[in-house]
Amino acid sequence: MSGLSLPSMALGEPTDTSREAINAALSAIRQHLGMPIAYVSEFVGDESVFRYVDAPGLEHLIKPGDSRDLSEVYCLHILEGRLPELIPDTAANPLAQAMPITRQIPIGAHMSIPIHLEDGTPFGMFCCLGPNANPSLNERDLETMRLFSNLAAQQIDKEYAHKRHLQEMRERIMDTLETNAFAIAYQPIVDLGQMHPSGYEALCRFSAEPYRTPDVWFDEAAKVGLSVELELASIRQAVEKIGEIAPDQYISVNVSPSTVISGQFAETFLKLPLDRIVLEITEHAVIEDYDRFTRVLRPLRHAGLRLAVDDAGAGHSSLRHIVQLNPDYVKVDMSLTRNVDQDLARRALIGALLFYTRETSAHIIAEGIETEAELNTLKLLGVRRGQGYLLGRPSQQIAHSLNEFSQAS
């Protein structure tokens, strides 16, 4: 084998747009040149893998996913200058004629343009070939093919850059998990009658640089298939301080529907003090199968786990979540709480949610309370639990999370 350095990382799953663009380029150049086979290959280790193929009726010879050892094909010889990019007649080229693949396919005419990534790394080949010699092929045809090859290279480079980006994300999340580069802050959920915490919401905070908000970290984890691991790791850390709160208080943790239906979820939660945990499902989360979701939670809820629908009122999914999941708590989104003392429509919507919870024995928790006017209005409406900066800011020390305002009240 040649000493040429080739990338070992295979191309990720292409987007529909890039796939269509590359396939269209192959079809156009194949028909323009009058050749039966056109393809884009990728160098993966010591193999040439055919990623895109346009060869109608010749699938028995070549199709996407097939591969050949690089020592068997023309690629390295073209990259290193031993074979030209344009071979109108392989019989007239001693090296091509000596290679077994020339007779096996057979290959009578061959045109191939190396594809390089933006950093100059050889990626693969953009190639057309036919069983018969074609002396009419010339440099103008090669230049036309080069134009289509450049179009394919642009799409591939975008996909490759995207894959590198995902790989960087994955490494970042894995490093965060391995080093526990996150901490839990606890924000009190206050009984508005006694002005005393009934529980604490656990909020994950990340210390890794550069700084990104928690939602970005969890979004990235989902994109690289590590959301379950990250969510469960944060939950396990959150409940470690459950011994620091009163026996009648709980810790509320956030989880996505995809994590709930994963095999690791029940295994993790069965080891936790379920009667002192509230599971929050955000309104923004999509639940594809409510039956499956509730089936997973049923034995855990029977064992004491409570369920909250978070961000109620922030979008169209909250009512469906509330009806389908029969939650123990409905957390009113801060978009309804904000300026509730000045807005009749907000008060009416919260009143409707209060009516529902009275009928179902659930409880309302108003989020984002920041002013005394908001707090007093919510109390008058009948809201019995609240959360927000007025009552207490998130703190890694549970004992310090309740504001002086709440303690004085």
Averages of pLDDT over runs of 10 residues in the chain (409 residues) are 38 69 94 96 95 94 95 95 97 97 96 91 94 96 95 89 89 93 95 94 89 91 93 95 93 94 90 94 83 94 95 72 91 93 94 90 94 96 96 86 62
| Structural domain of 230 | 180-406
- Please name which of 166, 295, 287, 180 lies closest in space to residue 229, comparing C-alpha atoms: 180
Q: What is the pTM of this model?
A: 0.75
Q: Which residues lie closer than 8 Å to 108 by C-beta, 6 or more apart?
A: 89, 90, 91, 130, 131, 132, 133, 134
Residues 134 and 263 in one domain: no
> What is the distance between the alpha carbons of residues 242 and 249, in angstroms, rounded to a whole number?
9
> What is the distance between the alpha carbons of residues 251 and 408, in angstroms, rounded to a whole number?
23
Residues 109 and 226 in one domain: no
- Please name which of 192, 168, 195, 171 lies closest in space to residue 181, comparing C-alpha atoms: 171
Kindly state whether residue 11 falls inside one of the protein's structural domains.
no
Residues 129 and 261 in one domain: no
Of 166, 198, 233, which residue constitutes the final position of a domain? Answer: 166
CATH, residue 66: 3.30.450.40
The predicted pLDDT at position 404 comes to 59
Residues 151 and 240 in one domain: no
Asked if 253 contacts 200 with a C-beta cutoff of 8 angstroms, the reply is no
> What is the distance between the alpha carbons of residues 404 and 32, in angstroms, rounded to a whole number?
78
Residues 241 and 219 in one domain: yes
> What is the distance between the alpha carbons of residues 388 and 57, in angstroms, rounded to a whole number?
66
The count of structural domains within the chain is: 2
The predicted pLDDT at position 18 comes to 84
Asked if 110 contacts 132 with a C-beta cutoff of 8 angstroms, the reply is no
The predicted pLDDT at position 16 comes to 75
Sign of the C-alpha dihedral computed for residues 388, 390, 394 and 400 taken in this order: negative
Residues 152 and 271 in one domain: no
Structure token digits, residue 164? 């590198």
Structure token digits, residue 139? 């440099």
The predicted pLDDT at position 397 comes to 87
CATH, residue 259: 3.20.20.450
Residues 207 and 151 in one domain: no
> What is the distance between the alpha carbons of residues 291 and 296, in angstroms, rounded to a whole number?
9
Of 139, 166, 193, which residue constitutes the final position of a domain? Answer: 166
Kindly state whether residue 9 falls inside one of the protein's structural domains.
no
- Please name which of 225, 233, 238, 183 lies closest in space to residue 208, comparing C-alpha atoms: 183
